[in-house]
Chains A and B, each alone.
Chain A
Amino acid sequence: MSSVLYDAQGPRAKRRNVLYTVGFLLAAAAVLWWVITGLNDKDQLTWDKWKPFLGGTEAWSTYIWPGLQNTLKAAALSMLIALPLGAVLGIARLSEHAWVRVPAAIVVEFFRAIPVLVLMIFGLALFAQYTNVSSDDRPLYAVVTGLVLYNASVLAEIVRAGILSLPKGQGEAALAIGLRKNQVMRFILLPQAVTAMLPAIVSQLVVIVKDTALGGAVLTFPEMLASVSPMSSYYGANTIASFTIVAVIYIAINFALTSFAGWLEKRLRRGKKSTGAVLPPAAVAGTASTGASV
């Protein structure tokens, strides 16, 4: 027993634990039974409903794969655009000049206080009214715009926290050997901060992937979640099966990313070459008013 919260268990505690285990398993079994009979009553467990996914490739190639491609495309585009923008905003917030620092702070705090969905809806209408982006492309543009605005602000905080997490001597020593301020940032601080920030950036990617689903549900962006309703009407009301398959894919992608972030963090902590400053995935949460990675 490694926990300090309870003692190593004696015979009585062990017996009680067995009792709790059995009670919990019975309760779980009851819930499971209720779910399964509920599903069965509505004919959701018949092979017909699951066959499109488990017994063939048509559903995958017609519905899921194109949707997944759009999901990944939107997520990748958002990350690629948000990253440099976030770096610029984050560095701007550390500037010594108030006229750079204050506007950057306002932009960051503003976009972090607003729901991504509101930004996406705004983006969709903006592209419709003020540009001539074709109506097929608009949802993608809107989703990416919303995600970029929000995530650039979150990444700005990650960059700022990453740079502030470095030992003070790094910047001071660099200034002492005569580097300019922007050289200090480019050659000394940023390269070290980037390694420290990597886990936090990777777990922000999870947030982006999850938020692309909003585009499918509200903006008619043809990503993976949006493929559920055409799929379930084509294959005969197999809503539960379609949802399960799509959810499993999301979970698999995000679980891989989360695990990768955790592994990166551990590895960077062990590494001898770095300064030892690592920004864990949740580190940004404490820096300002808005919730990251939720």
Chain B
Amino acid sequence: MFDFLDHYDLLGAFWTTVQLTVLSAIGSLIWGTVLAAMRVGPVPVMRGFGAAYVNIVRNTPLTVIILFTSLGLNQTLGISLGATNFDIINFRLAILGLTAYTAAFVCEALRAGINTVPVGQAEAARALGLSFPQVLSLVVLPQAFRSVVGPLTNVLIALTKNTTVAAAIGVAEAALLMKKMIENEAQLLLISAVIAFGFVCLTLPTGLILGWVGKKVAVKR
């Protein structure tokens, strides 16, 4: 019954999905934190930029962003991100698009987390004479991160599912493989069940493990 799977690199496709997820997650965590710092900072221009970025990116379909990285950045402007191989270029472009998109949601989650840190914490830090970068990086953000593990987990799970959009620019991940298998094989329900099972295997444990971590690290107040 599962014979046809031998012809396809199922594990390889899901490995690409995992790679896309992990690399974009790291990228968007960094970029999202920078954006959140800009949005709560004292410089009005940076606050404005942060707000504009989040509002624009959040309201743009991810598909538009990913397709734009390929058709716009790569094919029109000739940006290849240091790769020559077509597959590697598209893989990197997909990570770029996913990072740019997901960072907006990371930023919003973090900002909500910063708001949960009691006012007294920041006030005490300022009373000690800490500067804004110090207040943020030593006192507020460490506590904010601990309280947003839950929301960030949701963003991570959504990111895992969003990596399928990379199929639109031909990155050989799970959804593209599914499309190819359905075109060539007759077992529609079986193929779909296998792919669905793969995604459930990726998303459910992430939710459970990070949910547990979130409870562990949450600041008890």
Chain A: CB-nearest residue to B121? A4
Which range contains the number of B residues in contact with the other chain? 35 or more
CB distance from A111 to the nearest CB of B (A): 9
Listed in ascending order, the chain B residues whose CB lies under 8 Å from chain A are 40-46, 49, 55-56, 58-64, 66-68, 71-72, 75-78, 102, 105, 108, 112, 114, 119, 122-123, 126, 132, 135-136, 140, 150-151, 153-159, 161-162, 164-165, 167-168, 174-175, 178-179, 182, 188, 192, 195-196, 199-200, 203-204, 206-208, 211
Give Cα A37 to B7, complex, Å: 47
Give Cα A218 to B206, complex, Å: 27
Give Cα A187 to B45, complex, Å: 51
Q: Which residues of chain B are near A114, meaning CB under 8 Å?
A: 161, 196, 199-200
CB distance from B106 to the nearest CB of A (A): 10
Query: Could you show 10 A-B contacts with beta carbons less than 8 Å apart?
Result: A21-B45, A24-B49, A113-B204, A114-B199, A218-B175, A225-B61, A228-B67, A240-B72, A288-B207, A291-B159
Say whether B167 contacts A290, CB under 8 Å: no
Interface of B is mostly: helix
Give Cα A210 to B162, complex, Å: 12
CB distance from B4 to the nearest CB of A (A): 15
Give Cα A254 to B62, complex, Å: 13
Segment from A76-84, A86-94, A115-123, A162-170 that makes contact with B: A115-123
Say whether A291 contacts B155, CB under 8 Å: yes
Say whether A246 contacts B59, CB under 8 Å: no
Interface of A is mostly: helix
Given contacts A24-B45, A115-B175, A118-B178, contact A214 B204 (CB under 8 A): no
Say whether B43 contacts A17, CB under 8 Å: yes
For the complex with contacts A44-B77, A116-B161, 16 further pairs of A-B residues with Cβ separation under 8 Å are A1-B42, A4-B122, A5-B140, A17-B43, A24-B49, A38-B77, A39-B77, A110-B200, A113-B203, A117-B167, A126-B188, A218-B168, A225-B63, A250-B60, A250-B61, A258-B55
Given contacts A225-B64, A239-B71, contact A292 B154 (CB under 8 A): yes
Given contacts A5-B135, A225-B63, A289-B207, contact A214 B168 (CB under 8 A): yes
Listed in ascending order, the chain A residues whose CB lies under 8 Å from chain B are 1, 3-7, 9, 13, 17, 20-21, 24-25, 28, 38-39, 42, 44, 109-110, 113-118, 121-122, 125-126, 129, 206, 209-214, 216-218, 225, 228-229, 232, 237, 239-240, 243, 246-247, 250-251, 254-255, 258, 282, 285-286, 288-292, 294
CB distance from A290 to the nearest CB of B (A): 5
Contact of B199 among A5, A118, A206, A213 (CB under 8 A): A118
Say whether A294 contacts B158, CB under 8 Å: yes
Contact of A129 among B58, B188, B195, B211 (CB under 8 A): B188
Say whether B42 contacts A9, CB under 8 Å: yes
CB distance from A200 to the nearest CB of B (A): 14
Chain A: CB-nearest residue to B133? A6
Give Cα A237 to B76, complex, Å: 9
Say whether B59 contacts A258, CB under 8 Å: yes
Best-buried of A7, A115, A228, A251 by chain B (most CB within 10 Å): A115
Say whether A250 contacts B59, CB under 8 Å: yes
CB distance from B186 to the nearest CB of A (A): 8
Say whether A289 contacts B59, CB under 8 Å: no
Q: Which residues of chain A are near B62, meaning CB under 8 Å?
A: 210, 213
Say whether A3 contacts B42, CB under 8 Å: yes
Given contacts A17-B42, A247-B64, A292-B154, contact A214 B76 (CB under 8 A): no
Give Cα A246 to B132, complex, Å: 40
Give Cα A29 to B173, complex, Å: 37
Q: Which residues of chain B are near A218, meaning CB under 8 Å?
A: 167-168, 175, 179
Say whether A290 contacts B207, CB under 8 Å: yes
Say whether B192 contacts A122, CB under 8 Å: yes
CB distance from A221 to the nearest CB of B (A): 11
Give Cα A25 to B44, complex, Å: 11
